[in-house]
Amino acid sequence: MQEFLQTLWHDLAATTLLEYFAVIFGILSVWYASRENIWVYPTGIINVALYVYLFITAKLYAQSLVQVYYLFISIYGWYNWVHHPSEEGSTAITRLDKKGWLIAIGLTIIGTIILYFALSKYTDSQVPFLDSFTTSIFFVTMWLMAIKKVENWIGWIVGDLILIPLSISQHLAFTSIQYLVFFGLAVSGWIEWNKKIKNAQTLA
């Protein structure tokens, strides 16, 4: 434990300014998302642009790929939230039906298999399965956020819990703190979005 803490402290002390900025914008983005605020997208775009580089240098290739995907899905989500408003001024929050769950789980499994094969065969990734699994979760989760499905927060919670220790193992100590904060915000987002659904149902 002492050796682990010493390594963690050393990695925190070696954190680059670029990683600090990436973490700050990442936390802002998730906080705005939990509040259903449109600023989730401009802050998120800055965050993902920085993490493309950071994850490549950490040899988390699938995670760097998902950042590029975030960029495009963020543009779509930004457009969707602005141009398809509900009576309250934004796209209404809804729940996944049975078909939606099957699609989300199926895409996660298929994505994990494909990415694991690619990372194992064509890269020097040290954690191909975890990198593939979390990347697939976030691919699906970002899409669910763009269409305002409350279950997107489940994906963030699961992925964040995995990436906390994974980031530490790849010497991205400050990023692991970011994912710890993300986890707390994801729980808050789950609670807040469920409240909004219940309030909407009460008013209906």
149 has which bridge partners? 94
The confidence score (pLDDT) of residue 194 equals 93
Q: Check whether 86 has a pLDDT greater than 80.
A: no
| Cα torsion angle, 136, 137, 139, 144, sign | positive
Q: Check whether 47 has a pLDDT greater than 60.
A: yes
Greatest pairwise CA separation for the chain in angstroms: 57
Rounded (10°) CA dihedral 204, 149, 183, 171: -160
The confidence score (pLDDT) of residue 8 equals 53
Three-state secondary-structure class, residue 149: strand
Q: Which of 166, 158, 168, 117 is nearest to 138 (CA)?
A: 158
Q: Check whether 89 has a pLDDT greater than 50.
A: no
71 burial (CB, 10 Å; 0-12 / 13-18 / 19+) is middle
Segment of 9-13, 54-58, 104-108 carrying the highest mean pLDDT: 104-108
Asked if 161 contacts 96 with a C-beta cutoff of 8 angstroms, the reply is no
Q: What is the pLDDT of the chain when averaged over all its residues? A: 84
Asked if 88 contacts 148 with a C-beta cutoff of 8 angstroms, the reply is no
- Is the pTM of the predicted complex or chain greater than 0.85? no
Segment of 38-42, 105-109, 145-149, 193-197 carrying the highest mean pLDDT: 105-109
Tokens of residue 105, six digits: 């789980």
**Position 195, amino acid:** K
